[in-house]
Amino acid sequence: MDKLETLCKATFTDSEMELLEKATDFAKKAHDGQLRESGEPYYVHPEAVGILLYNMGMDAATVIAGVLHDTVEDCGVTVENIRNEFSDDIANMVDGVTKLTKTGNAGLASKEDRQAENLRKMFMAIAKDVRVVIIKLADRLHNMRTLEYCDPEKRRRKAKETLEVYAPLAQRFGMGAVKVELEDISFEFLYPEEYKRLKETIEPKQRERMIVLETSMRAIQKQLDDAGIKAEVSGRRKHLYSIYRKLEKYGNNIDKLYDLIAIRVIVDTVNDCYTALGLIHSMWPPMPGRFKDYIAMPKTNMYRSLHTTLFSDTGIPFEVQIRTKEMHRNAEYGIAAHWKYKEGRNTPEQDEMDSKLAWLRAALEYENLADNTKEFVENIRKDFFADFVFVLTPQGEIVDLPAGSTPVDFAYRIHTNVGNHTQHAKVNGAMVKLDYKLANHDVVEILTSQQATPSRDWLKFVKTQQAKAKIRNWFKKENREENIQRGREMLADAVKRQGFQLADILTPENTDKILKRHNMSSMDDVYAAIGYGGLTTNQVIHKLVELFRKERRRLELESSGIEGIGEHTASTVMQGVRVFGSSNMAVRFAQCCKPVPGDEIIGYITRGRGVSVHRKDCPNAENLLQEDERIVTVEWANTDKTRYPVNVAIISNERVGLLMDISQTLLNLNISIKGLSANTDSHNRVSVYLTFDVADASHLDSILKALKRVTGVENVYRTN
């Protein structure tokens, strides 16, 4: 690992260099004979991770842990080996990263559960030593840079995970440079069509803007030089994924994006920042409402800078960011840039770093509020990796909350007792309703009373999972008997709306299965959980109805002469689907997931359009299931003639005659293509998107298998 050692000689002590050289030899031997998917020797990866960590300014122990981070997982080396050969500090970091990387507990029920457990372990490891996440982000960044060598399915999976977890994590830790690169690589592989289309749309406009950028940079440099301000002036294009997100927000109107190009001005002092701002504003007219002072009011991830948008001489707007060298380093590397102060005690830098990690300590509280690992991880994702509003306490402390948060969310973020005893709220000095939506820079004051207690109505408008969990927890502890009664009535009503009676479907066998499923000891616990909001009736009712239907079908088969089972199971069959408890409602299949017989399905009563049938794994199903009163039980009826549309994606190496072979394969299976589109990426791979009708899930499976046998095809899968 000569590159890394050469780089580190500039700042490492002799003893640190000796330990690094020992680590590189150790890693080379451990990874001997292993290859990356690119065909390179495996040890180029730990070397690259070490270089990334060094460039971030991390200490020698972290760089060495980065070099060794894969030895325990991949090479049969133990953590104790690392501890004996190097140090406790290095061994603990390697152990932390290994626990993040290893596949979750194989005994867990599903891939989603295993991923949730891995993410839970990540937050626990970060809480012990924040350097673990910096190593993990460096590891993920280098893996993403070589993602093109992976198979298409792995590329999509890694890109999705990076976009949902690792890029937001980098953002939360203020590591802007890492976040931007992770997002753009993920965007290219996860949404290749949108990436290609956006690049083609932006490029002509960017060429014109780059001329404006270069002219403006020269003018700013001259103005600052003449004023005696030492400055580094550089330009940048806005990264593609950020443009994509903003276009979604503004309805694809690119003319509303004013920061497609930006000039960065780096000066020596804070005073120079404001002086430079004044000089630049004297050169071009600023755009009203587009000035942001993140120096006076920093973001919670340590980002500090001045932002202003100006109209160029040609009328094209451009952004200017002004900051000191230290601010720039923080903007690029965030928490990593502060690590050099880790040994300090009661220093301003140490205090700042501690305050910026307050969100992590708050996140860890969620483990006590969640009923399971999956809920814990989902709560953190929704509360800490969302779009934010930044509000202030009356003392001027900044609190970040998910967009759409209310004073009640703010109160529970401050402290559980403040939330539980909230009576009134003031925003910017004026009384507001408790469901008021907070905006950036609002000053929020909570008025409490010892007599005030939470209201169930709060659950309808609070945004954060933290507030919801703490409100439910209060009701859970305070009113168990009332919750049991309320929950029993709610479940009985929900079952009745499905066309059943609770006494009929709550058999002893079904009760045991429900208790085991929710890890509870009695139905009173289930009723209480429904009563205080810890469980929805839908989470219980679907399993009960499913168990009841299975038992009913078994009895029907045993006694084929029975005419139905009773009035309470009335149902109608429409479009090949049996809808229970309905009165001849129209049935339509959701276009977002296109269910076919064999798929697990749910029914959702729409306003004015009957019952919409979704697959249970539909991306929209989670939100729909929250509205218990509009969910109905549905199942596939035995119909032979009905056909159902499906969407399918085919990933293949590009070659002459590919589409003809795909069409011929479907023709041989008597399948008529209803829709077809295709595009080719920069790696000479083609993505083909088809729509056609099938009889059921097994029919679709046989078609997918036939398509996989077409020459050159790498992957075939159903899409939403």
Q: Which residues are catalytic?
A: 73-74
DSSP β-ladder status, 611-615 and 577-580: unpaired
Inter-residue contact 86 to 69 (CB < 8 Å): no
Q: Encoding tokens for residue 65?
A: 């842990």
Q: State the chain's maximal CA–CA distance in angstroms.
A: 99
* 3 state DSSP class of 565: coil
**Amino acid, single-letter form, for residue 388:** F
CA distances from 25 to 20, 21, 67 (A): 9, 6, 10
DSSP codes joined into one string, 370-414: -SSHHHHHHHHHHHHSS-EEEEE-TT--EEEEETT--HHHHHHHH
Which amino acid is present at 227? A
Structure tokens at 575: 């479009």
Backbone phi and psi for residue 225, each to the nearest 5 degrees, phi listed first: -60, -45
Residues 6+ apart with CB under 8 A from 298: 304, 398
Q: Convert 466-512 into a string of H (helix), E (strand) and C (coil).
A: HHHHHHHHHHHHHCHHHHHHHHHHHHHHHHHHCCCCHHHHCCHHHHH
- For residue 432, the SS3 value is strand
* Three-class secondary structure of residue 299 per DSSP: coil
Rounded to 5°, angle at Cα 275 from 273 and 280: 95
Contact 691, 646 (CB under 8 A): yes
Distance between CA atoms of 65 and 554, rounded to whole angstroms? Answer: 59
CA dist., res. 195 & res. 241, Å (int): 8
Element (H, E) at 139: helix 131-145
**SS3 state at 39:** coil
Alpha carbon 710 to its chain centroid, in Å, reads: 35
3 state DSSP class of 323: strand
For residue 717, list its beta bridge partners: 649
Amino acid 137 reads L
Spatial CB neighbours of 187, under 8 Å, sequence gap ≥ 6: 159, 163, 194, 195, 240, 241, 244
Q: What is the DSSP letter of 135?
A: H
Q: Are 370 and 376 in contact (CB under 8 A)?
A: yes
Q: What is the dihedral of CA 654, 655, 657, 660, to 10 degrees?
A: -20
Question: In the block, which residue shows the tokens 């891995």?
Answer: 118
Assigned token pair, 227: 């004023």
How would you list the strands of the sheet with 644-653, edge to edge?
673-680, 685-694, 644-653, 713-719
Q: Are 163 and 187 in contact (CB under 8 A)?
A: yes
What's the token pair of residue 576? 């090949």
